[in-house]
Amino acid sequence: MHRLFLFFVLFVLSLNSLGVEVYSQIGTWKTYTNTNHINDIVSRGDTLWVATSGGLVTFDVQKKDFINTYTNVDGLIHVNVTSIVIDRKGHVWLGTDGGGISKWRRPSEIWRTYTEFDGVALHVRTLWLDGPILWVGTDEGIAFFQWGWDWEERDTSYVWKENYDTRNGLPSHIINAFATNSTTVWVGTDGGVSSALKSSNLKDPSSWTSYTVDDGLPSSKVIALAICGSHVWVGTDRGASFFNGEQWIEGGLIEGNNVNALRVLADTLWAGTSAGVYKLVNDQWIAVAQQSLPSQDVRVVSRTNNGVIFCGIWAMGLAELDGSSWIQFSTEGPWKNNFLSVIVDQMGFVWSSVRSDRFTGKISRFADGLWTVFDEEDGIESANGTMDIMVDPQGRKWFATWGEGVSVLDDKGTLDKEDDNLTVYNTSNSGIHGIPDDPNFEVVTAIKEDNQGNLWFSNYFFGVVVYSPQDSLWEFFTTSDGLVDWFVLSLAIEDKGQIWIGAEQNGVSLFDHGGTPFQKVDDVWKTFDAENNFTNSTVNSIESVEGDTIWFGTNEGLFEYDGELFQRNPVIQNTGVLSLTRDARGHIWVGTSDQGVYVLDRSGNLRVHYDSENSGLVNNTVNDIDVNEQTGEVWMATPLGLSRYDSGVVKLKGEEEKINFFPNPFLPSQGHTKVTFFQLPDDPMLRIYTVSGEMIAELYPQPDSPNLIFWNAENQSGEKVGSGIYVVMLIAPGIDPRIGKLAIVR
């Protein structure tokens, strides 16, 4: 111990002067979403609060610019925000489609969540503020929040009422809209519209009066409601009508179109429809500057305090009515939020496959803080979505699509599309085959490149195809050659060149082509299924690690093959495994169908588990994962957005590598609260010493960050340490101790 101490004291004396480096992202999460799909708008002062399918955004009316974006990493319970109201205290209430209600308290900016445990269903469709009552429309009926004397909700002065649904007289449990006056509440549902006196017993079915198409509604699916003068207006998926107190009368608003929103703004009734914006003037609906709208699908109309009209356009952002034309404002982001696959190229650009609700797909690239879309206009046909993306050693991007074969993009490593070259492989020019019912519909689910430069494609509903770009050769393999099944989904290539092929059913095939993939005479096929202690379930992903270990992600959990036996991983069993990848240290990142992400060491032991509750992961369904080994960034593709975690895990450069930490110097006067040690080896331990050799702290990683260590500049007794130079020693298995120095200035 004396010799070791003398070593690091001499080392400290020889260190160069302290340098200040800034690392702001280590250990943090970031969510990337599209916030141009607008569901609701509320105006307060010079700010528009905008509910979108990708989170909450604010817009400065005077500066004509977006201010802030709030997602799950900021405290929002769910990024798909369906509705928004602001109460008289300025607190912002947000209904979400999957997380219940989030409340943003002002001025503390503290988030609070209400879910089924509070009496609110998770899928909230609409909110309506009526004095001391917040009406909540969900897919399980009505709930409402009633304030007592205390608007700050201290103690138990607030009450959540029970749900009201079809058992209480409503025509449907799916609630889309509310409107109230001093005596009556009107409720729009998927089965019609209902009304009741607010003073009545809402549990009693006789308190409700319901109306459907039999009573004159254009459709029983009521999307919007408004009370204007003496009339109650309903917007449906087939137009609008109004109630004059006795009967429903056709409203004359573009019959057959969705009426998404009805708002009374300065005593005038406005409508946002699938055919644009309208307002009611002298009992006639007037189209408002339709030709200048970037899209006709208007979801909401709002008015600022100074009388400016804004509308929210689905997929196109905000638009402001400026005289006789609309001015569009949109946010920077990916094309949609349903991410299927993701990969980082050699330049650090992030490429992702994104799919819409209508199963059309595009490619989104994230580089230098900007998003770029690639689609059929660029020559990339992705049909129902790109299932896999591969980057070859030349930097070309290979896109495996569901229906359009394979597209290959050579972007020359630049952001400029002008120098891009694109090649498409399909039935007309390659060995890729279409499905039996439509030979021109070519489904490719995975792409891998072997060490000879050959490209391997899992050609769903046909088999496996190999292509040699050097020799322009194509060959294919089907069940007649020994392939386990035609419905192939996943591929992996061992260092020895053997090909693992995962199927939708019946297990996996191991294919040894003997180094001659275009000559079948020496081919050897093996099949592994439930009879071999594997599974007949869907094999979604396959990943090889150093040595002979192969990992298989299936609908029945995670399996490991060591060259002789299959074993089911004891940690990941009761969930589907959708994606597998390795980081720079050989850790296995496992994306699941409903449990988030697991990180395992090379032996399959659990290191850490991330989900939407204990981390910034945006959704627990993780379709794909890729790791930037140079930076430690982990990118996770989910149906609600793209999550990035800055793990700090990069390749270790050798035993003499420095200890990475920030800030240095540590300056509490500048707001520093902790020192972060990052890019640490596995199983690290840190000891902090004074220059005289007294150990004052021994530090270990936290369970959720196994390659990070944090120090709050306190000794082992919990006392703050004084100003001075401190010696840091890093100890970990397999490396010699490393020494660094840290300055603290109080």
Kindly state the helix (H) or strand (E) to which residue 677 belongs, with its residue range: strand 675-678
Note the pLDDT tens digit of each residue in 81-122.
Answer: 999 999 988 999 999 999 999 999 888 889 999 998 888 999
Give the closest residue to 173 by CA, choosing from 154, 197, 189, 152. 189
Q: Retrieve residue 489's tokens.
A: 């989904």
pLDDT given at position 385: 87
Number of residues in the chain:
746
Note whether 120 and 143 are within 8 A (CB): yes
Strand order through the sheet with 124-130? 124-130, 133-138, 141-147, 158-160
Q: CA–CA separation, 636 vs 592, rounded Å?
A: 11
| Alpha-carbon span 725 to 691, nearest angstrom | 7
**pLDDT for res 545:** 76
Q: For the residues 666-670, what does the mean pLDDT come to?
A: 90
Going by pLDDT thresholds of 50, 70 and 90, the confidence category of residue 654 is low
Residue 525 CA, chain-centre distance (Å), reads 39
User: Is residue 135 predicted with pLDDT exceeding 50?
Assistant: yes
Q: What is the pLDDT of residue 23?
A: 44
d(CA 642, CA 589): 16
Note the pLDDT tens digit of each residue in 321-349.
999 999 999 999 999 999 999 999 999 99
For residue 353, name the pLDDT band (cuts at 50, 70, 90): very high
Residue-level pLDDT at 17: 39
User: Do 686 and 677 contact (CB within 8 A), yes or no?
Assistant: yes
Q: Where are the beta strands (DSSP E) in 545-640?
A: 550-554, 557-561, 566-568, 577-582, 588-592, 597-600, 606-610, 624-627, 633-638
* Pairing verdict, β 499-503 and 350-355: unpaired
Instruction: Give 546's pLDDT tier (boundaries 50, 70, 90).
Output: low
What pLDDT does residue 147 have? 77
How confident is the model over 557-615, as pLDDT tens digits?
Answer: 999 999 899 999 999 988 999 999 999 888 999 999 999 999 999 889 999 999 999 99
Spatial contact of 297 and 313, defined as CB atoms under 8 Å apart: yes
pLDDT at 3 over 50: no
Least confident of 334-348, 419-433, 542-556, 652-666: 652-666
Is 151 exposed, middle or buried, given 0-12, 13-18 or 19+ CB atoms closer than 10 A?
middle
Each residue's pLDDT tens digit, 173-193: 999 999 999 999 999 999 999
Question: Measuring CA to CA, which residue among 153, 149, 37 is closest to residue 93?
Answer: 153
Handedness of CA 146, 147, 152, 155 (dihedral sign): negative
Q: What mean pLDDT is predicted for residues 446-471? A: 96
Given pLDDT bands bounded at 50, 70 and 90, which one contains residue 9? very low
Instruction: Give the per-residue pLDDT at 152.
Output: 61
**Model confidence band, residue 154 (pLDDT cutoffs 50, 70, 90):** low
Q: Give me 445's structure tokens.
A: 């689910």
Task: Map out the domains of the chain with their CATH numbers.
Answer: 2-25+653-744 (2.60.40), 529-647 (2.130.10.10)
Cα separation of 83 and 96, whole Å? Answer: 7
pLDDT of residue 2: 42
Reported for 308-312, long-range contacts at CB under 8 A and 24+ positions apart, including other chains, are 308/61, 309/265, 309/270, 310/41, 310/43, 310/48, 311/41, 311/272, 311/277, 312/38, 312/39, 312/40, 312/41, 312/50, 312/272
Window from 9-13, 118-122, 124-128, 254-258 with minimum mean pLDDT: 9-13
Q: What is the pLDDT of residues 262-300, one digit of tens each?
A: 999 999 999 999 999 999 999 899 999 999 999 999 999
CA dihedral 245, 250, 254, 260 (to 10 degrees): 40
22 contacts 282 by C-beta, under 8 angstroms: no
> Mean pLDDT of all residues in the chain?
91
Residue 156 confidence (pLDDT): 53
pLDDT digits (tens, 9 = 90+) for 215-270: 999 999 999 999 999 999 999 999 999 999 899 999 877 677 899 999 999 999 99
| Out of 95-99, 386-390, 738-742, least confident range | 738-742
Residue 15's pLDDT band (cuts 50, 70, 90)? very low
Q: Which of 155, 114, 153 is nearest to 136 (CA)?
A: 114
Taking the C-alpha atoms of residue 177 and residue 630, their distance in angstroms, rounded to an integer, is 50
In 3D, which of 277, 275, 257, 273 has the Cα closest to residue 320?
277
β-pairing, 184-189 with 175-180? Answer: antiparallel
Query: DSSP 3-state assignment of 486?
Result: coil
Tokens 């708002």: give the residue. Answer: 263
pTM of the full predicted structure? Answer: 0.89
pLDDT reported for residue 83: 98
Band of pLDDT at residue 396, cut at 50, 70 and 90: very high
Q: Interior CA angle at 707 toward 702 and 711, to 5°?
A: 55
**pLDDT given at position 357:** 80
Residue 138 has pLDDT above 60, yes or no: yes
Residues 6+ apart with CB under 8 A from 211: 192, 193, 194, 217, 243, 248
How far is the CA of 371 from the CAs of 29, 111, 368, 598, in angstroms? 19, 29, 9, 28
Q: Residue 119: what pLDDT?
A: 86
Q: Rounded distance, CA 667 to CA 534, Å?
A: 56
Residue type, 702: Q
Q: Is the pLDDT of residue 308 over 80?
A: yes
The string over 450-485, giving b where at least 16 C-beta atoms fall within 10 Å of a residue's C-beta and e elsewhere, is: beeebbbbbbbbbbbbbbeeeeeebbbbbeeebbbb
Q: Which residues of 491-520 are buried (b: 16+ CB within 10 A; e: fewer)?
A: bbbbeebbbbbbbbebbbbbbebeeebeee
Position 148 scores a pLDDT of: 67
Confidence of residue 24 (pLDDT cuts 50, 70, 90): very low
Answer for the pair 188, 178: CB distance below 8 angstroms, yes or no: yes
Task: Label residue 516 by pLDDT band (50, 70, 90).
Answer: very high
For residue 382, how many C-alpha atoms fall within 13 Å in the half-sphere facing its CB? 31
Contact call for residues 62 and 47 (beta carbons, < 8 A)? no
Average pLDDT of the segment spanning 376-383: 82
Candidates 496, 645, 657, 650; CA nearest to 586 is 650
